[in-house]
Protein backbone atom coordinates (compact mmCIF):
# COMPACT_ATOMS: atom_id res chain seq x y z
CA UNK A 1 0.00 0.00 0.00
CA UNK A 2 1.52 3.34 -1.02
CA UNK A 3 1.57 6.24 1.42
CA UNK A 4 -0.99 8.08 -0.64
CA UNK A 5 -3.43 5.17 -0.66
CA UNK A 6 -2.77 4.52 3.01
CA UNK A 7 -3.52 8.13 3.88
CA UNK A 8 -6.66 8.08 1.75
CA UNK A 9 -7.82 4.90 3.43
CA UNK A 10 -7.40 6.37 6.91
CA UNK A 11 -9.37 9.46 5.94
CA UNK A 12 -12.25 7.38 4.55
CA UNK A 13 -12.09 5.03 7.51
CA UNK A 14 -12.37 7.88 10.00
CA UNK A 15 -15.43 9.20 8.14
CA UNK A 16 -17.21 5.85 8.25
CA UNK A 17 -18.93 4.53 11.37
CA UNK A 18 -17.12 1.26 10.97
CA UNK A 19 -14.35 0.04 13.22
CA UNK A 20 -12.39 -2.96 12.00
CA UNK A 21 -9.48 -4.62 13.79
CA UNK A 22 -6.31 -3.36 12.03
CA UNK A 23 -5.13 -6.90 11.22
CA UNK A 24 -8.30 -7.41 9.19
CA UNK A 25 -7.63 -4.58 6.78
CA UNK A 26 -6.87 -5.70 3.25
CA UNK A 27 -3.74 -4.45 1.51
CA UNK A 28 -5.08 -1.74 -0.76
CA UNK A 29 -3.41 -1.05 -4.07
CA UNK A 30 -5.55 1.89 -5.14
CA UNK A 31 -8.05 4.45 -3.88
CA UNK A 32 -10.74 2.64 -5.82
CA UNK A 33 -10.15 -0.48 -3.75
CA UNK A 34 -10.43 1.63 -0.61
CA UNK A 35 -13.78 3.02 -1.77
CA UNK A 36 -15.11 -0.44 -2.55
CA UNK A 37 -13.98 -1.86 0.76
CA UNK A 38 -15.44 1.03 2.80
CA UNK A 39 -18.71 0.68 0.90
CA UNK A 40 -18.80 -3.07 1.48
CA UNK A 41 -18.01 -2.78 5.17
CA UNK A 42 -20.59 -0.05 5.63
CA UNK A 43 -23.31 -2.14 4.00
CA UNK A 44 -22.37 -5.13 6.15
CA UNK A 45 -22.69 -2.97 9.24
CA UNK A 46 -26.09 -1.72 8.12
CA UNK A 47 -27.20 -5.32 7.73
CA UNK A 48 -26.08 -6.86 10.97
CA UNK A 49 -23.89 -4.80 13.27
CA UNK A 50 -25.71 -1.51 13.68
CA UNK A 51 -26.68 -2.37 17.23
CA UNK A 52 -23.04 -2.36 18.27
CA UNK A 53 -22.53 1.25 17.24
CA UNK A 54 -25.32 2.73 19.30
CA UNK A 55 -27.24 1.45 22.28
CA UNK A 56 -30.90 1.19 21.27
CA UNK A 57 -32.02 2.05 24.79
CA UNK A 58 -29.88 4.98 25.95
CA UNK A 59 -28.32 5.99 22.60
CA UNK A 60 -24.82 5.54 23.97
CA UNK A 61 -22.57 5.65 20.92
CA UNK A 62 -19.44 4.48 22.68
CA UNK A 63 -20.01 0.81 21.98
CA UNK A 64 -17.31 -1.59 20.92
CA UNK A 65 -17.98 -4.69 18.91
CA UNK A 66 -16.70 -7.03 21.60
CA UNK A 67 -18.96 -5.56 24.27
CA UNK A 68 -21.92 -7.69 25.24
CA UNK A 69 -23.56 -5.05 27.39
CA UNK A 70 -23.99 -1.30 27.15
CA UNK A 71 -21.74 0.27 29.75
CA UNK A 72 -24.22 3.06 30.46
CA UNK A 73 -27.55 1.26 30.90
CA UNK A 74 -26.58 -2.42 30.81
CA UNK A 75 -28.65 -3.23 27.74
CA UNK A 76 -27.84 -6.74 26.49
CA UNK A 77 -26.38 -6.09 23.05
CA UNK A 78 -25.57 -9.69 22.34
CA UNK A 79 -29.13 -10.82 22.93
CA UNK A 80 -30.39 -8.23 20.48
CA UNK A 81 -27.84 -9.38 17.94
CA UNK A 82 -29.12 -12.93 18.16
CA UNK A 83 -32.71 -11.79 17.70
CA UNK A 84 -31.78 -9.89 14.58
CA UNK A 85 -30.00 -12.90 13.17
CA UNK A 86 -33.15 -15.03 13.10
ZN1 LIG B 1 -27.37 1.82 26.85
Helix or strand (DSSP H, E) at 42: helix 31-44
Looking at the predicted structure, is the pLDDT value of residue 51 above 50? no
- For residue 12, how far is its CA from the centre of ligand 1 (angstroms)? 28
pTM over cut 0.75: no
- For residue 20, how far is its CA from the centre of ligand 1 (angstroms)? 22
> 58 or 24: which carries more pLDDT confidence?
58
In Å, how far are 13, 26, 75, 81 from 22, measured between CA atoms? 11, 9, 27, 23
Q: What is the pLDDT of residue 47?
A: 57
Q: Which long-range contacts (CB under 8 A, 24 or more apart) does 39-48 make?
A: 41/16, 42/16, 42/17, 42/18, 45/17, 45/18, 48/81, 48/84, 48/85
Average pLDDT, the chain: 79
Amino acid sequence: MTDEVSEYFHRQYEKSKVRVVPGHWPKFKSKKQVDLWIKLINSMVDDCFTQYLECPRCKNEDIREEQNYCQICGFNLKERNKERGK
